[in-house]
Amino acid sequence: MFMHVFKYRLKCLIRDRDTLFWTAAFPLLLGTMFYFAFGNLMGSSGGFEPVKVAVVNSPEYRNNTYLQLMLGVLSTAGEDQLLDMTLTTESQAQRLLDEGKVAGIITVSADEGVGDSGSSPARLTVTQSGLGQSILKAVLDEYLHTSATATSVLSRGSVDVSELVARLRNRRSYTQQISYSDALPDYMLGYFYALVAMAALYAGLWGMRNTMDIQADLSDKGARRSVAPTHKLAVVMGDWTASLLISFGEMLILLAYLVFALKVDFGDQIGYVLLTCLAGCIAGLSFGTVIGTLFRKSEGIKVATLVASSNLLCFLAGLMYLDMKDIVARKAPVLSYINPAALIADAFYSLYIFDNHRRFFLNIGLLCGFSAVMCFVSFLRLRSEKYASI
Amino acid sequence: MLIRVNNLVKRYGELVALDHFNLEVDEGEILGLLGPNGSGKTTTINCILSLLKYDRGTIEVFGRPMAPDAYESKRNIGIVMQNVAVFEELTVEENIDYFCGMYVDDHRTRRSYVEEAIEFVGLTEFRKFRPKKLSGGLLRRLNIACGIAHKPKLIILDEPTVGVDPQSRNSILEGIKGLNERGATIVYTSHYMEEVEQICSRVVIMDRGKTLASGTKEELKAMINHGETINVELYALKPEDLAHILQMPHVARAEYHDNHLTIRYDDGQHNLLNLLDYLKSRDLSFERVYSQQPTLNDVFLEITGRQLRD
């Protein structure tokens, strides 16, 4: 009996074009739109671009060997290159700044005077604030602090200059940096993860349809199936398995499209990625089943309720505004733990960014808990075999 | 006895849908459950099928108490819902196979049952069609096929001809008679008295959740105290002629309105002949004359004071 119900349910669902559009085609279209909207931003935050800076090639600068040395080291091509320096005239530097081709101008002029050690106070000129400008300020602050220290030490006399220079060059850090990941952070991935979460929740449309077709008080088909000499559990399981198969298949298609066509990075832990998809589909199906059983309204109202609530959950998970996920995590952390969309998106994110699986399994565990609660609520309603009214 | 309903009470809040309702259905009969909309016919069916909870009473089907898990009884029941209950995404053949498969496990047996059902309802050339491609009448036939394909001993049809054109309706009614001839017991609910009169061997008239009367058509008609009704189109009728007609044998009532003379008789034979003789003797010209035998509607009118379709 299970196979009979399962086979025909599969046929019904595969031929249901309206629901197929929302559960399969719509996420693909939205993913494509995201790609064209964010495509040029994807991966850009992963690599660091050296900060462009213009340095006025004044006599004072040429006399400042320490600053020349420092800027030279920081501008040396390689993985650690911090600055992209252009040595130029004052007027040319100003033009580059005005045109936005450099983040700032470093000037060492006679006005600032020349220190005893041959170093001079330097001036940074910027026209706006930003990451590049902050880096330039930090570099100049470091230079000023070091040169002031050197000047102070040298002014006391009887100091071995070569030893001082060696000590200044050998900085010792008393903190240790530990990286949780080898992955490059990519801000835009969050949108695609939230999109997959949305597709998972839209599987609720299948769950809702199952409910409509099994309950005698919700549809004539439900009444006809209820009078058949078949155990209700066999029918429910047949319907559910077919729905899960369809929604998981749709999820795989979406995943393949995102990974192979749009080059969205889900990391290399494919087994866990698929586990997240499966858990997401189950959460979506059970969520839709609950919406279908909770009230006796028309199918249209139920669909609208399901789509609206799914979209709200996805919004809170950062689908439309990525920072929303962090805002919710800070302002209403409980919501982050019960929002299935946030849990799915965060599971993908934690797989991508962290080398350990602690956070991933927390998300999957919470997602399973959400599904269990939804299934229990559905069971309370679906177990009825006789109704007060039809 | 295939169905025995005893003192069934079903309330929807303050509304009493079934008020100590009793029903017995014998094997091999076509029982008509006749009543106006809202009389409790569908509620009765849903209670018998164990879909609805009820407040009081007992229901036995095939001699056993009816319950949601009375699978053995359910296996021998076929239900044709008031509304068409099929899957839009499945073809005619698939729909019948799907519902038949919920009763019949054996694949080979099921195939032959499905073929028979398709042929029986005349949907052979539409077997690959999806429901949305079918007309209203064909949809109703599909609805019936889905309910009877598994060859049940008891078939319950809940107003299966609502919204169906006369040609399809006749076809459906003939089909139901055919099912009965094959050995199925039929419970047929309708508010169309003509249908019930046409196919049912026994009729239960119900209203407001109660049984008003039951018996064969003849027994029910015998319950009312009038026989045929004669209508005559007359252009003029003097009051003294009307008074004379009222004095004729077996005339219970006579009225003249809008050039129409309506005479109801309580009994008697040759009433029409006597009337025509009188009209000729008085040189009264008339256009059309027709006689109507009492109907179940007259029975309902007599009992409740209301028309069946009020």
All residues of chain B having their beta carbon less than 8 Å from the beta carbon of residue A216 are: 51
- On whether any CB of chain B is under 8 Å from the CB of A221, the answer is yes
Residue A40 in this model has a pLDDT that exceeds 70: no
Please provide the DSSP assignment of A256-281 as one string.
Answer: HIIIIIS-----S-HHHHHHHHHHHH
Which residue type sits at A287?
Answer: F
Give which of A2, A3, A4, A214 to mutate to test B binding, by max B Cβ within 10 Å.
A4
Separation of alpha carbons A94 and A102, rounded Å: 9
Mean pLDDT, chain A, rounded, equals: 86
Q: Which of B86, B94, B103 is nearest residue A229 as measured by Cβ atoms?
A: B103
**CB–CB of A224 and B90 under 8 A?**
no
CA distance to partner chain A, nearest, from residue B215 (Å): 29
All residues of chain B having their beta carbon less than 8 Å from the beta carbon of residue A224 are: 79, 81, 85, 99, 146-147
A213-217, A337-341, A383-387, B200-204: lowest mean pLDDT where? A383-387
- Among chain B residues, CA nearest to A223: B51
Please state whether beta strands A104-107 and B229-234 pair in parallel, antiparallel, or not at all (unpaired): unpaired
Residue A120 in this model has a pLDDT that exceeds 60: no
Separation of alpha carbons A246 and A261, rounded Å: 22
Look at the pTM and tell me if it is higher than 0.80.
no
Q: For the segment A301-311, what is each residue's pLDDT rounded down to a tens digit?
A: 889 999 999 99
Phi and psi of B15, rounded to 5°? -80, 130
**CB–CB of B94 and A386 under 8 A?**
no
All residues of chain B having their beta carbon less than 8 Å from the beta carbon of residue A233 are: none
All residues of chain B having their beta carbon less than 8 Å from the beta carbon of residue A15 are: 89-90
Q: What is the CATH number of domain A51-159?
A: 3.40.190
**CB–CB of A390 and B51 under 8 A?**
yes
Please provide the DSSP assignment of B80-102 as one string.
Answer: E-SS----TTS-HHHHHHHHHHT
Q: A165 near A147, Cβ under 8 Å?
A: no
Q: For the segment A187-244, what is each residue's pLDDT rounded down to a tens digit?
A: 788 889 999 999 999 999 999 999 999 988 888 999 999 999 998 889 999 999 999 9
**CB–CB of A385 and B50 under 8 A?**
yes
Q: For the segment A276-334, what is each residue's pLDDT rounded down to a tens digit?
A: 999 999 999 999 999 988 877 788 888 999 999 999 999 998 888 878 888 888 888 88
Give which of A12, A221, A299, A384 to mutate to test B binding, by max B Cβ within 10 Å.
A221
- Among chain A residues, CA nearest to B152: A228
Q: Which of B51, B72, B98 is nearest residue A386 as measured by Cβ atoms?
A: B51
Q: What is the pLDDT of residue A342?
A: 92
Separation of alpha carbons A126 and A96, rounded Å: 11
Percentage of chain A beyond pLDDT 70 is 91
Please provide the DSSP assignment of B155-168 as one string.
Answer: EEEESTTTT--HHH
Q: For the segment A63-113, what is each residue's pLDDT rounded down to a tens digit?
A: 888 888 888 888 888 877 889 999 999 899 999 999 989 999 999 876 544
Judged by DSSP in three states, B185 sits in: strand
Separation of alpha carbons A136 and A156, rounded Å: 31
Q: Which of B52, B82, B147 is nearest residue A386 as measured by Cβ atoms?
A: B52
**CB–CB of B99 and A224 under 8 A?**
yes
A117-126, A130-139, A183-192, B256-265: lowest mean pLDDT where? A117-126
Angular region, A302: left φ>0, alpha ψ -120 to 50, beta rest: alpha
Chain B contacts to A (CB-CB under 8 A): 12, 46, 49-53, 68-69, 71-72, 74-75, 77, 79, 81-87, 89-90, 94, 98-99, 101-103, 105, 146-147
Q: Tokens 């049912």 identify what position? A: B200
Per-residue confidence in pLDDT tens, chain B, 310 aa: 899 999 999 999 999 999 999 999 999 999 999 888 889 999 999 999 999 999 999 999 999 999 998 999 999 999 998 899 999 999 999 999 999 999 999 999 999 999 999 998 889 999 999 999 998 889 999 999 999 999 999 999 998 888 788 888 888 899 899 999 999 999 999 888 888 888 999 999 998 999 988 999 888 888 776 778 899 998 888 899 999 999 998 898 899 998 899 998 887 778 888 888 898 898 888 888 988 888 888 888 877 777 766 5
**CB–CB of A223 and B94 under 8 A?**
no
- Our separate counts of H helices and E strands in chain A read 18, 4
Separation of alpha carbons A250 and A280, rounded Å: 12
**CB–CB of B51 and A387 under 8 A?**
yes
- Name, in order, each residue with C-beta under 8 angstroms of A83's C-beta and a sequence gap of 6 or more: A50, A51, A52, A53, A71, A74, A75, A135, A136, A139
- On whether any CB of chain B is under 8 Å from the CB of A156, the answer is no
- Name, in order, each residue with C-beta under 8 angstroms of B245's C-beta and a sequence gap of 6 or more: B251, B254, B261, B263, B275, B278
Q: What is the 3-state secondary structure (H, E, C) of A21-45?
A: HHHHHHHHHHHHHHHHHHCCCCCCC
Instruction: Return residue ranges of chain A for CATH 3.40.190.
Output: 51-159
Q: How many residues does chain A have?
A: 390
Q: B27 near A366, Cβ under 8 Å?
A: no
Residue A384 in this model has a pLDDT that exceeds 50: yes
Query: Both tokens of residue A385?
Result: 């075999």
Number of C-beta neighbours around residue A378 at 10 A: 25
Residue A115 in this model has a pLDDT that exceeds 60: no
Q: Is the four-CA dihedral B296, B300, B303, B305 of positive or negative sign?
A: negative
Q: What is the pLDDT of residue B8?
A: 95
Residue A253 in this model has a pLDDT that exceeds 70: yes
Separation of alpha carbons B295 and B289, rounded Å: 19
All residues of chain B having their beta carbon less than 8 Å from the beta carbon of residue A389 are: 12, 52
**CB–CB of B85 and A12 under 8 A?**
no
The angle formed by the CA atoms of residues B67, B70 and B71, to the nearest 5 degrees, is 145
> Mind listing the domains of chain B with CATH numbers?
3-222 (3.40.50.300), 229-293 (3.30.70.980)
Q: What is the pLDDT of residue B256?
A: 92
CA distance to partner chain A, nearest, from residue B40 (Å): 13
Q: What is the pLDDT of residue B62?
A: 94
Q: B177 near B30, Cβ under 8 Å?
A: yes
Residue A339 in this model has a pLDDT that exceeds 80: yes
